[in-house]
Every structure is written in C-alpha cells, then in structure tokens.
Amino acid sequence: MLSSRVTKEKTDRPLSTWSLLEIQKPKQHSERKPDSTKSEPLPEELNCANYITNIPVEARPSEVFDYIHSGAVQALHMYPSTDRHVHEAAKLVFTEAKRAAHLVDQARGPFHCYMGDTRLYVSYNRNGSRAYEGPKTRVLIIEGPRELMTYEHWKESFNNACFYLLDRWSYQPCAQGDRMKMEFRFLSAGMAKACSDEIKSEHQEEDEHRVSVTSGRDVCDADYLEPWAAPKLFIF
C-alpha cells in the first residue's frame, strides 16, 4: 500500500486539449489551396516529440504521466477516441531530443512499452518539436500562509493567467508551522510559466502574505523517483 501522503494528491479530469481546440477553431472554407511552403520533417536527432497510440479509452493525463520516466516533459496533448479510432492517443514532448529517442527505442525493443496490460505504440511525432527554450519544468511549488493554501484560491490565479490543464496537485511538507506548500503539475511548461508569472505579479511587494513560487522538479525525469510513489516506468 502506498503512503497516506499519496491520498492527498488530487487529479483533474479536464477537457482534452484536442477537444478544446476543436470547439474554439473557427470554421474553415472547404476550398483551401495547397500549402506550397510546407516544411520538411524535423530530423529525428532534433525531434523531442513522440506520438503514442493505443492508450486505453478514458485514460487521464495523470495516468499517462504515471508511466513516464524517460525524461522531463515539456508538454502532453491528449487525443480522445473517435468512431475511427477506438483508443486514445497522445503527443508527448520532452525537453530533450534524446529522451524522445529513448522512448522510441524502448517501444521498438524486445519488451515493448505497456500501460497496464495494454501495449503502447510509440513513434516520432510527424510534425516534430525542437528542444524547448523556456523553463524546463511543468511543476510549480507555491509556499504561503495557511489561509491562502487551498486549491480554490490558486485556481482563481491560474484562471486569470491562461487556459491550463493540471496533471495533479498535492500538499508538500513545510518547515514553518504557520505556512504551507503546494505542488502543482501542469500538462505543459508553458502553462506553468504563465501561472508563475501571474502569481509573481500579484505578490510583487513583500507583504503579510509572503507568497513564494518556485519551479519544481518533474518526477518524469529519468533519474528522479519519489521514494513514496509507485514506480513511473513503462512495464517491461
């Protein structure tokens, strides 16, 4: 049995990124001219993005992250099942190209990659993604007075910052008895950066709140595993 600390973690089940884009995307005229400026595919040695298929239906982003331990993740985009595709898919973007290469090699190896009992198929994402130039973490650690440290309070700040999706959030140990820490894991480093900037702008001057926000380490990182957590490895 996992430590009781795990039970404090909360996960969201938001709209998938793909669903939201479909809702917001304006109608396109049916007669579109071919794109003559279409770029060449990104070389694999520069491509940080994987495309994962055969994900079990209704799998949450947090469940996908639980099986990733190949490297820090820059972004995860989930694609729900459709009439044509009975399983879910995902675009997984690492902060380094070598991490994407490692996952492809693992999937092609003799033991493959599994999510539970389901085999996953991993390839390079067709369009590709270069190494991320911004903050290389999707994790925020917020510390402040106890009265401010609730999900509802910080959700309001996040809503003011950007459209965001959460992997999960949890309370963290804090040395000071009158203060608390919370960890928020977003689906992308860009979302984390926007929310961090919003919090910092709200608390620019030192006041009675004394709120601090720092970047946390991604537990998907290849050499990091929380001692109390379940293994975050693809099953061999």
Tens of pLDDT along the chain (236 residues) come to 223 333 344 544 443 333 333 333 333 434 444 444 556 788 999 999 999 999 999 899 999 999 998 899 999 999 998 888 889 999 999 999 999 999 999 999 898 999 989 999 999 999 899 998 877 799 999 999 999 999 999 999 999 999 999 999 999 999 888 899 999 999 999 999 999 999 999 887 656 568 999 999 999 987 765 544 444 433 32
With beta carbons less than 8 A apart as the criterion, state whether 155 and 10 touch: no
Contacts of 140 (CB under 8 A, 6+ apart): 183, 184, 186, 192, 195, 196, 213, 214, 215, 216
Instruction: Give dist(CA 143, CA 171) in Å, integer.
Output: 10
Assign 209 to helix, strand or coil: coil
With beta carbons less than 8 A apart as the criterion, state whether 207 and 48 touch: no
C-alpha of 224 from chain center: 16
Sign of CA dihedral 41, 45, 48, 52: positive
Token code pair at residue 208: 């009675």
Instruction: Give dist(CA 143, CA 214) in Å, integer.
Output: 9
pTM for the model: 0.77
Contacts of 206 (CB under 8 A, 6+ apart): none
